[in-house]
Amino acid sequence: MSYELLFINAIVIALMAMHVYVYGREREIGENSTKFDISATAVMFFVVLMAMYVYEKAKGMWENSAKRKQIDIPAFSASMTNAKVLGTTEIVQFDKVWTNNGNDYDPNTGIFKSPINGVYQFSFTNENRLVGVYPGNGYNEGTANMVLNLQKGDRVYVKCGGGDHGYIHTANGYWY
């Protein structure tokens, strides 16, 4: 409901309350009385002030809600479009960015820089499977997930380990 509609509702309620009050005062004083009733004016003034207060509060809540919706929640999803042999300790640069709310993931460097303090979840997969095992004779497909408490400006990236090479397929990260 828009704050304009809330304001109109507040005015209608205020006028109804004033009407009930004035009607009651007329019955007490008498319908033919020309006596000026200062308390009815005071009530009307109070009711209008309350309506203005409700309007400003509703307007503030509405605007804050709209601002919250405009803020990009930090999140990204990226993948490699072509297989690439990675060198030892090379940072993976995912060239296909599916989602990048806030543009906090840089595909040119492969680095995600946290825009705000908070808890983030990251995952990455090698090859195409989402789950894999280490059978003892070598690494197979798999997924790694981690939850990190980051400060604004912290950098997160996927880096190849100390072996000769590795294959990485996708990476995801988001704040919650």
Segment 133-160, tens digit of pLDDT: 445 565 556 667 777 788 899 988 877 6
Q: Are residues 39 and 96 in the same domain?
A: no
Q: Are residues 84 and 66 in the same domain?
A: no
Phi, then psi, of 169 in degrees rounded to 5: -110, -55
CATH number at residue 142: 2.60.120.40
Dihedral (Cα; 108, 110, 114, 115), 10-degree rounding: 10
Structural domain total, the chain: 2
Q: Are residues 60 and 80 in the same domain?
A: no
Pairing of strands 142-150, 118-126: antiparallel
Report how far residue 60's alpha carbon sits from residue 66's, in angstroms, rounded to the nearest whole number.
Answer: 10
User: What pLDDT is recorded for position 116?
Assistant: 87
Per-residue pLDDT of 102-131, as tens digits, reads 899 999 998 989 898 888 887 776 654 434
Q: Are residues 41 and 85 in the same domain?
A: no
Which of 70, 94, 115 corresponds to the end of one domain? 70
Q: Are residues 57 and 80 in the same domain?
A: no
Domain that holds residue 152: 75-175
Which of 54, 70, 86 corresponds to the end of one domain? 70
Q: Are residues 83 and 111 in the same domain?
A: yes
Q: Which two tokens stand for residue 56?
A: 């400003």
Residue-wise DSSP of 71-115: SPPPEEEEE-SS--PPPTTPBP---EEEEEETT-EETTTTEEE-S
Distance, CA of 38 to chain centre: 50
pTM (two decimals): 0.51
For residue 31, pLDDT beyond 90? no
